[in-house]
Amino acid sequence: MMRHSFFYIKKIGWYNSISLLIAIFLLPSVAHSSNDYLSEEKKEIIQQIQANIYLDEYQLAHTYADSLITFNTNDPLGYLFKAAIYLGDMTDSEQELYPDQFKEMIDTTIYLSDRIIASADSTKIAWSYLCVGHAAAYKSLYESRFGSMGQALKYGFKAKSAYHDGLRFDSTVYDLYGGLGMYHYWKSAKAGFLRWIGVFNDDKQKGIDELYLTIDSSEVSADAAWSSLVWIYLDAKQYDTAIVIAQKMYEKYPEGKTFLWAMAKIYFQSEQYEKSIEVFQLLYDKLMLTHKNYFNIIESEHYIFSAYKNLGDKEKAKEIAKRCLHYVNKIPMKIRNDQRDKIKELVKVATG
């Protein structure tokens, strides 16, 4: 889940960070000073990778990312996407499946980007700063899930600095504004007391404006920025706007789970419980097909249970709770610990 998310990822639930992860892919647009950086063929491959990730097709995404590397083994872009795909797959499964591969791709991305920046190749420097910023953003997401929030914050600030450096070099690389847009909104929205005492400015609207600039001015980044805005408008409780965008993106990527999660949460938080149940049930059915991710099976199950409870339908709520008895003993211990409060409530109602 998901959209940067450095300041709030544990507060909104981890799966949502997948969407935010996708949102900070911010795939390259063509800037006036660096038209030679991307060929039409490379842009098509990048668009395909993005579609594969939205559709949860991680192995196919890797195949396309590998083809990017074959264009030029010294270009950091292919390695950056492989890191993003590994992270997306790990978040989707809620398991630290590829830590070594992920870190290797991050390190390679930064190493190659730094070499280009040092070489003063003017057609690539802004893009290299973008790659450094994205690599730091992915590392922040990784640390927030599998490491420490302190490290996540550190890498979040590194991402921001890299985006600013890129814009100082070339302000026409609009994808850099997308990275800053995520940073500015969530830094402001979740800084709490630090914003109140003036340590952080309130840059929420600035962040939204930067994302719309990315939508308007990039060639292949629009979907990523739209994905970011879904979660921003949900956070801002602008539910009508959030659902319109989420529905639009789900229609484009109906086989994936990303925008189903967004729609389900928007309906739940706006107290449209019947619609929320419908969408969460769709998610639950998809998850139960593979039993790949018990964390999110419990997550969707508990939302459906809570929606019925909020509707005053105790009988239906109990019926939903009983479903967990069929698989609760199969849940890995770590996930059982992570979801212990929700599991405890479901089991208590189911057996009561």
pLDDT in tens, the chain (352 residues): 333 333 333 334 434 444 455 445 444 433 334 456 777 888 899 899 999 999 999 999 999 999 999 989 999 999 999 999 999 899 888 789 999 999 999 999 999 999 999 998 777 899 899 999 999 999 998 998 888 888 988 998 999 999 999 999 988 888 888 889 988 998 888 765 444 445 567 899 999 999 999 999 876 678 888 999 999 999 999 999 999 999 999 999 999 999 999 999 999 999 999 999 999 999 999 999 987 789 999 999 999 999 999 999 999 999 999 999 999 999 999 899 999 999 999 999 999 8
**This prediction's pTM:** 0.85
Q: How far apart are CA 231 and CA 125, in angstroms?
A: 31
Residue 303: alpha-carbon gap to chain centroid: 20
Residue 178 host element (H or E): helix 175-190
Q: Decide if 85 contacts 58 (C-beta within 8 A).
A: yes
Token pair 């039409």 in the structure block, residue: 40
The answer to whether residues 90 and 102 touch, using CB atoms and an 8 Å cutoff, is yes
The pLDDT value given to residue 175: 86
Residues in the chain: 352
For the chain, the domains span 9-256, 271-351
Residue 315 · residue 352 · CB < 8 Å:
no
In the prediction, which pLDDT does 94 show?
A: 79
pLDDT at 123: 73
Pick the CATH number of 9-256 from 3.40.50.720, 3.90.1150.10, 1.10.10.10, 1.25.40.10: 1.25.40.10
